[in-house]
Amino acid sequence: MRTCIRSLFSIAAAFAVAATASAFPKHKFEIVDGKFQLDGKPFVILAGEIHPSRVPKEYWRQRIQMAKAMGLNTISVYQFWNMHEPEKGHFDFSGNEDVTQFLRICEEEGMFAILRPGPYVCAEWEFGGYPYWLLNEKGLVVRSKEAQFMTFSKRYLKEMAKRTVDLQVTHGGNILMVQVENEYGSYSNDKVYMAEIRDALKEDGYDVPLYVAEGSSQLASAWIPGTVAGVNGGGWPDTVKTANKYTPGGPYIVPEFYPGWLDHWGGAKSITDGGVRSFTDLIKNNVSVSLYMFHGGTNFGFTNGANWGGGFEPDITSYDYDAPLDEAGRPRKKYYGFRDAITKVTGITPPPLPATIPIVTIPRFTLNHSGTLFHNLPKPVVSETTKTMESLGQAYGFVLYRTHVKGQKQVTLDIRDLRDFGVIMLDGKVITTLDRRRKQQTTVIDIPASGAQLDILVENSGRINYGSKIPDNFKGITDHVELGGVTLKGWEIYSLPMKDVSHLNLVNETNDGPAFYQGTFNLSTLGDAFLDLRGWTKGVIWVNGHNLGRYWWIGPQQTLYVPGVWLKTGQNTVTVFEEVKTNSPTIEGLAEPILTDLKREKVDTKRPRVKLAKVSSLTDAELAISGDLAKGDAAQRFKFPTRTGRYLCIETDSTFENETYSALSEVDLIAPDGFLIDRAKWRVAFVDSEETAQEDGAAENLLDGDLETIWHSVWSSEHKGNPHQIIIDLGANTTAAGVRLTPRQGDRPAKTKAFRVYLY
């Protein structure tokens, strides 16, 4: 029989009194008969997630008060290992990383807390919270029971415990629960590893209930005995049904209920209704819930992570998340929807909202001092081969690679592997850019007969924070560089972490490439602001020495949030590092952010030239095979009489639904011995149609080994119908006896049916 709803939340009425008195009473929190109990009474956790590292510490209290005013009783807190141990053995729990102070403020405001220490957190945060230096430890495997990783993880957790164990409710504090790892079932299923993390937390002195958090379909791989089974993203009654498989009879908790969602550069801004109705159903039925996020905040500096969804997807600077509380700490419409729902269910009116931070506008000003990157370089590391960012002892920022090349016309430059955004320059002039999002690592360049200085500026755009690619997170040029098929050697490598931009050489020369710009504006009244970077291309911006984060013309984010506590009355200094170019070095501060302005990207693949007349004049003599693909997702083999050729042409003639566009996932050739032919030197030479405006449908996706990425002919604008053609340069004459074609995966449109294959 359901417990009376009002009695479940009656304890909340005491919170306002406790906060007013600035004294948090000692509580007893436990699990009895499958229910959370606080001081012997049934208790439902109403939590909201806030990450201290994403909010200036001066604003912590206001954000916590806003959570309380919405009716929440608990703050859920991720802690980021890379912020607490930025370099091996050097721990930092000061300033914005002072977790003890943050939890104390929660306590002073009458709010309980849930601690989520990791060591892995995801959170769309750089490397999922791991410090970069782990990548330099030979043989270390992150997120596993490998001995080195466990040693470092346990050392970090112990340091966290020193500062938080005494803040548990069992010790007179406010921490109700502690999470073991995070969403591990989405990564692997090593229960020994999970148990070792659980046991380490216990050994460190955590004696409140431990829990795991994972989606319903992955929970089986994450849950271990001795933990509460938390079901992320669940609704009523599915949460209860799922949790009962692991902890029959409860307790029930949704550690991550999503009132909003994350955003990537080049993708549309996520906007949702918040799911207030589903949230209401959960708490009506005594299911504890934590809103991820209640307040997202900002990925200041270089702290944003990246996802891998068939390709590299870096997260934007704003972690606004379309949360109930926006990036500047102001309530959205959905905030009041949650507030009304909580009031109605509990029968308790939350306290009044605290004042929000004022917003100021800043008239447009000019950044009238500038200096090229080349006039602001440190001493280089001289190396025969390229080096990763990590091997330079560098966590974040940029690396410039320099060498000298001999004159050649229409020669292919191949960067393996470029991570993540490259600006290619000859004698200081920008030739092109290459973008890992687009799987771009090659371009065709013309080098003067006298030779030239080749510079490659590489940006670390954020390490992958989620999925199977987490262990492979090196940055910079992680393999080697080829020019015309020959490996380039003899490099000068410049490490550019850009931790301090206070001593720049700004000589106001004409800037035709990467450069620093600096200017000032004056304020008589302080408040938050949003700097408008439209008109700039791509880079990073600092205000009074504080790194606000990245901007990129492609959007959807066009403004960067400036906390008022980083401003001052009188003169304020703005510094911009622009990677490519700016149309006009001016900026203004707006009263509202621009987070939904997604620009249409035009992709120039810079492919080698081929004799295109051959495309329209291919004959039966060059035809290897024609046929139809069967329905389904499996790779399909088609044999043909052994033949030799330098170029492979795939021609798609129809689809199963007779669309005017086509798609394929992978293309391989089969050797006479039946094995697949190595594609390492294959390059797309020509494609008559590829969708690059509304999705990554580049023809290079046919050769990347990823079934989820596809070549797709143009569909978002005016286009011609089938047939469509892709020509691949095999790098040398190649003998084959068959082709393997992999269809687009899933029940999706544009799956190719009829095809022709030419080898000539």
Three-state secondary structure of 350-389: CCCCCCCCCECCEEEEECCEEEEHHHHCCCCEEECCCCEC
Distance CA 687, CA 689 (A): 6
Domain 5-346 matches domain 613-759 at the CATH topology level: no
pLDDT of the residue at 18: 35
Q: Tell me, which fold does domain 358-601 have in CATH?
A: Jelly Rolls (2.60.120)
Is 310 exposed, middle or buried (CB count within 10 Å of its CB: 0-12, 13-18, 19+)? middle
What is the Cα–Cα distance from 289 to 71, expressed in whole angstroms? 12
The pLDDT of residue 718: 86
Rg (CA), the chain: 28
Nearest in space to 380 (alpha carbons), one of 492, 496, 497, 504: 492
- For residues 43 and 37, the answer to whether their CB atoms sit within 8 Å is yes
For 68, phi then psi, to 5°, come to -65, -40
Asked if residue 229 lies in contact with residue 207, where contact means CB atoms within 8 angstroms, the answer is no
Three-state secondary structure call for residue 46: strand
DSSP 587-617: EEEESS-----PPPP-----PPP--THHHHT
Q: Which residue ranges of the chain lie beneath pLDDT 50?
A: 1-22, 610-614
Place of tokens 């940029």: 398
Residue 309 has a pLDDT of: 78
CB 244 within 8 A of CB 229: no
For residue 204, count other CB atoms closer than 10 A to its CB. 19
pLDDT of residue 65: 98
Report residue 10 CA to chain centroid gap: 40
| pLDDT value at residue 256 | 98
Residue listed under structure tokens 């494609």: 687
For 697-728, the DSSP string reads --GGGGGSS-TT--EE---SSS---S-EEEEE
46 backbone dihedrals φ, ψ, rounded to 5°: -115, 95
Distance CA 63, CA 69 (A): 10
Q: Which of 183, 327, 390, 651 is catalytic?
A: 183
Q: Which fold has domain 5-346?
A: TIM Barrel (3.20.20)
> Which amino acid would we find at residue 83?
M
The rounded distance, in Å, linking the Cα atoms of 389 and 395 is: 7
Scored b (16 or more CB within 10 A) or e, 388-403 reads bbbbbebbbbbbbbbb
The separation between the first and the last C-alpha atoms of the chain, rounded to the nearest angstrom, is: 76
Nearest to 390 by CA among 733, 109, 32, 88: 88
Residue-level pLDDT at 608: 57
CA dist 452 → 402, 421, 429, 455, 458 (Å): 11, 22, 11, 10, 19
Question: How far is Cα 542 from Cα 397, in angstroms, rounded to an integer?
Answer: 13
pTM over 0.75: yes
Cα 216 to Cα 222, 258, 467, distances in angstroms: 10, 14, 17
d(CA 695, CA 716) in angstroms, rounded, equals 9
Question: Residue 363: CB partners within 8 Å, gap ≥ 6?
Answer: 521, 588, 589
pLDDT the model gives residue 573: 98
Per-residue pLDDT, 564: 98
Question: Which 3 state secondary structure label does DSSP give 444?
Answer: strand
Set 109, 256, 327, 390: catalytic member: 256
Q: Which residues pair with 314 in a beta bridge?
A: 306
Residue 311 per-residue DSSP state: S
The candidate with the shortest Cα–Cα distance to 125, out of 180, 49, 66, is 49
Single-letter residue type at 548: L
Does 183 qualify as catalytic in the annotation? Answer: yes
pLDDT in tens, 213-250: 999 999 999 999 999 999 999 999 999 999 999 999 99
* Chain centre distance of CA 290: 22
Dihedral sign for Cα 585, 505, 453, 434, please. Answer: negative
Non-local (6+) Cβ contacts of 445 within 8 A are: 411, 413, 424, 426, 431, 432
For the chain, what are the domain ranges?
5-346, 358-601, 613-759
State yes or no: is 601 an active-site residue: no
What dihedral angle (degrees, nearest 10) is formed by the CA atoms of 455, 461, 463, 465? -160
Which listed CATH number (3.40.190, 1.25.40, 2.60.120, 3.30.780) goes with 613-759?
2.60.120
